[in-house]
Amino acid sequence: MSGGDDSSANMLVEELTDAQAETELQRLTEEITHHDALYYADDAPEITDADYDALRQRNEAIEARFPGLIRPDSPSQRVGAAPSEQFAKVTHTVPMLSLGNAFSGDDVRDFVDRVRRFFKKGEANEAAFTAEPKIDGLSISLRYERGKLVLAATRGDGATGENVTANVRTIPDIPHVLSGANVPDVFEVRGEIFMRHEDFAELNAAQEAAGKQTYVNPRNTAAGSLRQLDPSVTASRKLHFFGYAWGEVSALPADTQMGVIEAMQKWGVPTNPLTRLCHTVDELITAHADFETERSALGYDIDGVVYKVDRLDLQERLGFVSRAPRWAIAHKFPAERATTILKGIEIQVGRTGSLTPVAKLEPVTVGGVVVQNATLHNEDEIARKGVRIGDTVVIQRAGDVIPQVLSVIEEKRPKDLKPFEFPKVCPACGSHAVREIHPKTGREDVVRRCTGGLICPAQAVERLKHFVSRNAYDIEGLGSKQVEAFYEEGRVMRPADIFTLEVRNARTDKPLQGKEGWGDQSVANLFAAINERRAISLDRFIYALGVRHIGETTARLLARSYGTFDALRVAMIAASDHESSAYEELNNIDGIGQVVADAIIEFFAEDHNIEVLDALLQEVTPEPFLVEETSSPVTGKTVVFTGSMERLSRSEAKVMAERYGAKVAGSVSSKTDYLVAGEAAGSKLKKAQELGVQVLSEDDWFRLVGEE
Ligand code: IVH
């Protein structure tokens, strides 16, 4: 009789022959996989939980008796499967943002002041804030349509995440249907998925018993658990959820943060019971102290407290700065510390040539994470702390920031340790490394920099890493590791080379496909990802160039101000003449100071940069900056505000103008389109009248943008 006998399904495990066991294991794998799909993906199970459990138990019993027959695709083998690259992308209709941080009571005071000052005097003096724990998990967006869970997506880069719906459906905390009254047609619940300490410990105990690798911390494990191709693995991980925000909604159930959270709770979404309403800075700080006291007894990781402006109309008026709301902030808990031995100091060369000393440490666990490297900041800090190689040092780790060396325990210093001598030449290229003198203050810069510029391989690699980084080109399959390897092999020496890689790869006798870690498919995927980026938004393009002092916000500002890359370039070349109107215009952009202005002008004045840039522009096209789709009568116009206004503080006026696509300038010139003049407008009004610039009253302004 062959093994393919149906009757083996009814036999006792002890009576199975090898061949029958093999058939039976195949049948069980197929059946369990089928039921997993019905249960998790389609939400339509065909068998009872007990019957399902029986299938899994039988599978395990047979495997225990015939360990040689365990199938690689067996349900028992799926725990710990590698995270997949195969989740579909989801574009968030409302971006998923991050939060600004506060580290002290003073930071919290500043935050509250900033919020209150944003509004006209008296308007927001009484405005309340919510305070709630900041959960150390991973954020997720849950889209409900007519009350039904239709999509779950990870945060990703904030704009696009991954569709993990099937996995999320396995989390018991997350309702598949919102119940109760007044559930809006569309409601995206945003919140945090996390793992409790006890479940994490249990999982690790099981891993250990099975001789498998243990997991590092609950947060990473929760994240890994969600990115499993097999939902039954996610299901086995016991994840939890708290809702604390929302994305796209067809209607809001309340006009305060607290009110919406309470409504979500009524619909069946778990929300954090510790959330409370505060009216003063002191109450916020008390909440922080209370949560910190409760922290160790909560049973899950929190890393701070989040404060949010309670009134939603105020939240909306405050809006956002780049990636974080102005109406919320995360007040972090103090960092955790540990002591260990400093084994060495490595000097790393950054993108702009900065030499950063990195402490190489005897591995030590700080706040649940093993730390082996920490920053020593710079030359002066090493001297100030008196750090010597061989010392026992105190290190600190806070959240996602790089661990740092805080101090030396001098009593523990072995004899004969020598003070550390900071190198005066670049360890990567041997060029002189110097500390620049600040043109204005005349003081020496704390950072020592390699003067090798483009001949320095370390700088070149760091620039390439920056070029492909998440907020720049963000090419899937081309991260820091790959860039480093490609540089070493001579495949990619400058940005343009990324885009000629495919053509060159077809001709070379050392194609990528032959390298470890690369196969036909992954190489094809890489080229597809690269080609997808041949057109890129202007702000990302500017940011990717890695000009000193130009971060994302400034890059956006430049993109918005100049509109196209050609316009920017022409203007920056003209601006090298400090008497030119181009120079004045650049400095007049609200948010661009002299340091930034000089840095970008210098970039365009350097021939090497132009060469690299032109080679790149042969391959890619920066797209003209699109002002928000809804164009308004002031889109693209330059506006100056002056005098004191009735309804708007200066900060709110600026944010409002930008929301309508206008550029805000600090002074009046021939480029100004409108001067909005409040009470007691002075010299700016006079200048506008001289230049024939259109002058608006505050009411005119509101009418112009259509707010009345
Ligand atoms: S509110 C627009 N509340 O922290 C505001 N975030 O550092 C959205 N997080 O990406 C965030 N607990 O993943 C908010 N109670 C809480 C939170 C929380 C954890 C995470 C969230 C966010 C990150 C920002």
Q: What is the pLDDT of residues 564-595, one digit of tens each?
A: 999 999 999 999 999 999 999 999 888 888 88
Residue 312: C-alpha distances to residues 122, 260, 622, 702 (Å): 18, 10, 37, 21
Give the residue from 397, 393, 267 showing the smallest Cα distance to 334: 397
Local confidence band at 410 (pLDDT 50, 70, 90 cut-offs): very high
Site to probe by mutation for ligand 1, drawn from 101, 140, 192, 307 as the one with most ligand atoms within 8 Å of Cβ, is 192
Please tell me the distance from the alpha carbon of residue 650 to that of residue 633, in angstroms, as a whole number. 21
The confidence score (pLDDT) of residue 80 equals: 31
Contacts of 10 (CB under 8 A, 6+ apart): none
Q: How far is the CA of 291 from the centre of ligand 1 (A)?
A: 16
687 pLDDT more than 90: yes
Residue 315 lies in a domain: yes
Q: Please state which of the ranges 96-110, 322-336, 430-444 shows the lowest mean pLDDT.
A: 430-444
Mean pLDDT of 232-243: 93
Pocket lining: 245 vs ligand 1, CB cutoff 6 Å: yes
Local confidence band at 424 (pLDDT 50, 70, 90 cut-offs): very high
Q: Where a domain ends, among 589, 623, 657?
A: 623
Q: How far is the CA of 271 from the centre of ligand 1 (A)?
A: 13
Please check whether residues 195 and 315 belong to one and the same domain: yes
Site to probe by mutation for ligand 1, drawn from 92, 94, 97, 99 as the one with most ligand atoms within 8 Å of Cβ, is 99
Q: Do 97 and 321 form a contact (C-beta atoms < 8 A)? A: no
Local confidence band at 629 (pLDDT 50, 70, 90 cut-offs): low
Pocket lining: 359 vs ligand 1, CB cutoff 6 Å: no
Mean pLDDT of 368-380: 87
The confidence score (pLDDT) of residue 3 equals: 38
Give me the percent of the chain exceeding a pLDDT of 90.
63
Mean pLDDT of 117-126: 89
3-state secondary structure of 363: strand
Q: Do 75 and 146 form a contact (C-beta atoms < 8 A)? A: no
The model carries a pTM of: 0.65
Please check whether residues 609 and 649 belong to one and the same domain: no
Pocket lining: 192 vs ligand 1, CB cutoff 6 Å: yes
53 pLDDT more than 50: yes
Residue 418 lies in a domain: no
Tell the residue nearest (CA) to atom 2 of ligand 1: 97
Please check whether residues 619 and 680 belong to one and the same domain: no
3-state secondary structure of 214: coil
Strands of the sheet containing 674-677, edge to edge, are 663-664, 638-642, 674-677, 694-696
Please check whether residues 198 and 105 belong to one and the same domain: yes
Please check whether residues 644 and 617 belong to one and the same domain: no
The confidence score (pLDDT) of residue 140 equals: 97
Tell the residue nearest (CA) to atom 23 of ligand 1: 98
Site to probe by mutation for ligand 1, drawn from 98, 190, 288, 295 as the one with most ligand atoms within 8 Å of Cβ, is 98
The confidence score (pLDDT) of residue 538 equals: 96
Catalytic residue among 134, 238, 465, 637: 134
CATH number at residue 197: 3.30.470.30
| CA atoms within a 13 Å half-sphere pointing along the CA-CB vector of 655 | 17
Please check whether residues 673 and 561 belong to one and the same domain: no
Please check whether residues 271 and 175 belong to one and the same domain: yes
pLDDT digits (tens, 9 = 90+) for 102-121: 989 999 999 999 999 999 98
Tell the residue nearest (CA) to atom 6 of ligand 1: 134
Please check whether residues 236 and 97 belong to one and the same domain: yes
Local confidence band at 6 (pLDDT 50, 70, 90 cut-offs): low
Pocket lining: 677 vs ligand 1, CB cutoff 6 Å: no
Local confidence band at 48 (pLDDT 50, 70, 90 cut-offs): confident
The confidence score (pLDDT) of residue 438 equals: 76
The confidence score (pLDDT) of residue 1 equals: 37
Mean pLDDT of 620-639: 84
Number of domains in the chain: 3
Residue 548 lies in a domain: yes
45 pLDDT more than 80: no
Q: How far is the CA of 266 from the centre of ligand 1 (A)?
A: 21
Pocket lining: 243 vs ligand 1, CB cutoff 6 Å: no
Give the residue from 271, 249, 267, 268 showing the smallest Cα distance to 258: 271
- Domain with 567, as residue range(s), is 537-623
Residue 250: C-alpha distances to residues 72, 147, 158, 257 (Å): 46, 12, 21, 16
Q: How far is the CA of 161 from the centre of ligand 1 (A)?
A: 16
Give the residue from 145, 165, 141 showing the smallest Cα distance to 154: 141
In residues, how long is the chain?
A: 708
Q: How far is the CA of 95 from the centre of ligand 1 (A)?
A: 13
The confidence score (pLDDT) of residue 248 equals: 96
Pocket lining: 99 vs ligand 1, CB cutoff 6 Å: yes
Please check whether residues 599 and 656 belong to one and the same domain: no
Q: Taking all residues of the chain, what is their mean pLDDT, rounded to a whole number?
A: 90
Local confidence band at 628 (pLDDT 50, 70, 90 cut-offs): low
Mean pLDDT of 610-630: 87
Please tell me the distance from the alpha carbon of residue 588 to that of residue 584, in angstroms, as a whole number. 6
Please check whether residues 612 and 662 belong to one and the same domain: no
Please check whether residues 673 and 557 belong to one and the same domain: no
Please tell me the distance from the alpha carbon of residue 105 to that of residue 107, in angstroms, as a whole number. 5
Q: How far is the CA of 60 from the centre of ligand 1 (A)?
A: 40
pLDDT digits (tens, 9 = 90+) for 240-297: 999 999 999 999 999 999 999 999 999 999 999 999 999 999 999 999 999 999 988 8
Give the residue from 482, 476, 610 showing the smallest Cα distance to 533: 476
193 pLDDT more than 50: yes
Please check whether residues 607 and 698 belong to one and the same domain: no
Q: Where a domain ends, among 306, 332, 358?
A: 332
Residue 498 lies in a domain: no
Pocket lining: 193 vs ligand 1, CB cutoff 6 Å: no
pLDDT digits (tens, 9 = 90+) for 512-539: 998 988 889 999 999 999 999 999 999 9
Q: How far is the CA of 185 from the centre of ligand 1 (A)?
A: 24
Active site residue 89: no
Residue 543 lies in a domain: yes
Residue 277 lies in a domain: yes
CATH number at residue 673: 3.40.50.10190
Long-range contacts of 577-582 (CB under 8 A, 24+ apart): 581/669, 581/670
Give the residue from 607, 264, 338 showing the smallest Cα distance to 453: 607
Pocket lining: 361 vs ligand 1, CB cutoff 6 Å: no
Pocket lining: 513 vs ligand 1, CB cutoff 6 Å: no
Q: Please state which of the ranges 34-43, 391-400, 603-612 shows the lowest mean pLDDT.
A: 34-43
What is the position in ligand 1's atom list of the atom closest to the CA of 134?
12
Q: Where a domain ends, among 310, 332, 354?
A: 332
Tell the residue nearest (CA) to atom 15 of ligand 1: 134
Q: How far is the CA of 282 from the centre of ligand 1 (A)?
A: 22
Residue 647 lies in a domain: yes
Local confidence band at 653 (pLDDT 50, 70, 90 cut-offs): very high
The confidence score (pLDDT) of residue 78 equals: 58
Residue 651 lies in a domain: yes
* Residue 205, token pair as written in the block: 């105990």
Pocket lining: 302 vs ligand 1, CB cutoff 6 Å: no
